[in-house]
Amino acid sequence: MQLTDIKKRMELPVIMAPMFLISNPDMVVGACEAGIVGTFPALNARTKDVLDSWMAEINERLQESKEADSTDKIAPWGINFISHSSNKRFHEDLQLIEKHQPPIVITSLGDPSPVVEAVHNYGGLVLSDVTDIKFAKKALEKGSDGLILVAAGAGGHAGVLNPFAFMDEVRSFFDGPVALAGTITKGEQVLAAELLGADFAYVGTHFIATKESGASAAYQESIIQSAAADIIYTPAFSGIPANYLIPSIVKAGLDPENLPEKAGLDFKKLSNSSAKAWKDIWGAGQGVGGTRKTQTVQEAVTELKTAYNQAKNIHQLT
């Protein structure tokens, strides 16, 4: 699938980012029906059988929506696949991708080439999630069609590069599809991402506080109450630096100022804590202050679209 075909089917140049334990078929379908790309991490489906049924469900529901209203723009959907030997379901999940043919596959970690081969066979698009220039070049060498630049401040495993610098440098050697990720919660920021040279804004944290989201009520409330000062960037919980909500760390009985350095998978042993990364220690990006209420995915997209169009009008952009 080409970038222009994808864009034609979208109401707004936004990809709802995949989020561990949060994204689910309702969010994906809600996003696509609202006219943005909906995605989820394959591993959110606890088994390969669950993944099989989730992917079938998404395709069926989106097909029904298209048949119900052919004038409506139903955006394509995508799946996030860990393209690394640490992924115990690597082969099974890749087979399911070949079976259900999600139009977009987002690779994280590792070498995307096995995924590229499988996805290109059915005409899908592969985007690779990268946090620096070295990984960006590597992903392109391995055949990825496009990049997702995860800039500083993004929720989850973020990079440390400023988005202006990151975008500009990537555009000096690549003119294909690029999504910019990190702290985007507003329609104006979606337009800003486009002005920097991105084809899409990649939005995660903002969709945690949606009715369809898998996040608990307490997690969603914490998103609504928090601001940038409540975010900490630490490798303590997963071994790779990521952004988390400080209130969840405190709630788990831990001192955010005295977290074990680089503890990663040994975190439990070192801290004597039973808290689990992502389930109890909540991920969120520095843009969290831009999310002040819980709404449906459709409402969130409508709000983003209204602000995006207003910003375009103010700046007299077509």
Stretch that binds ligand FMN, among 119-127, 160-168, 247-255, 281-289 (CB under 6 A): 281-289
Query: In which element (H, E) is residue 79 found?
Result: strand 77-82
Q: Residue from 36, 105, 150, 301 that binds ligand FMN (CB under 6 A)?
A: 150
Q: How far is the CB of 278 from ligand FMN (least distance, A)?
A: 6
Q: Which runs of consecutive H residues, i.e. helices, occur in 20-47?
A: 25-34
Q: Is 154 in the site for ligand FMN (CB under 6 A)?
A: yes
Q: Which stretch binds ligand FMN (CB under 6 A): 61-69, 93-101, 152-160, 253-261?
A: 152-160
CB under 6 A: which stretch of 24-32, 113-121, 147-155, 163-171 binds ligand FMN?
147-155
- d(CA 83, CA 93) in angstroms, rounded, equals 10
Binding of ligand FMN by 311 (CB under 6 A): no
Q: Which is nearer to ligand FMN, 258 or 265 (CB)?
A: 265
Least distance to ligand FMN, CB of residue 105, Å: 11
Q: Which stretch binds ligand FMN (CB under 6 A): 136-144, 175-183, 225-233, 265-273?
A: 175-183
| Contact between 184 and ligand FMN per CB under 6 A | yes
Q: Binding ligand FMN by CB under 6 A: which of 108, 213, 220, 271?
A: 108
Helix extents (H) in the chain: 3-8, 25-34, 48-68, 90-100, 113-121, 133-141, 163-171, 187-196, 217-225, 246-251, 267-271, 297-314
- Binding residues among 43-102 for ligand FMN as defined by CB under 6 A: 80
- Name which position in 124, 204, 249, 254 contacts ligand FMN (CB under 6 A): 204
Residue found under tokens 């979606």: 190
CA distance 128 to 160: 17
Residues whose CB is less than 8 angstroms from the CB of residue 8 and which lie 6 or more positions away in sequence, other chains included: none
Shortest CB 268 distance to ligand FMN, Å: 19
Q: Which 113-132 residues touch ligand FMN, going by CB under 6 A?
A: 129
84: Cβ contacts below 8 Å, ≥ 6 apart: 90, 108, 109, 110, 111
Q: Which residue is nearest to ligand FMN (CB)?
A: 204
Residues in binding contact with ligand FMN, number by CB under 6 A: 25
The Cα angle at residue 51 between residues 113 and 115, in degrees rounded to 5: 5
For the segment 9-48, give every residue that binds ligand FMN (CB under 6 A): 17-20, 22, 41
Residue type, 161: L
Burial of 135 (C-beta count, 10 Å sphere; 0-12/13-18/19+): middle
Is 131 or 271 the residue whose CB approaches ligand FMN more closely?
131
Q: Which DSSP string do the residues of 270-317 spell out, in sequence order?
A: HHT----BTTTB-B--GGGGG--S-B-HHHHHHHHHHHHHHHHHHTT-
**Considering only residues 87, 144, 205, 234, which one is a binding residue for ligand FMN as defined by CB under 6 A?**
205
Candidates 191, 201, 179, 181; CA nearest to 310 is 191
Which residues are near ligand FMN by CB under 6 A?
Answer: 17-20, 22, 41, 80, 108, 129, 150, 154-156, 181-184, 202-205, 283-285, 287
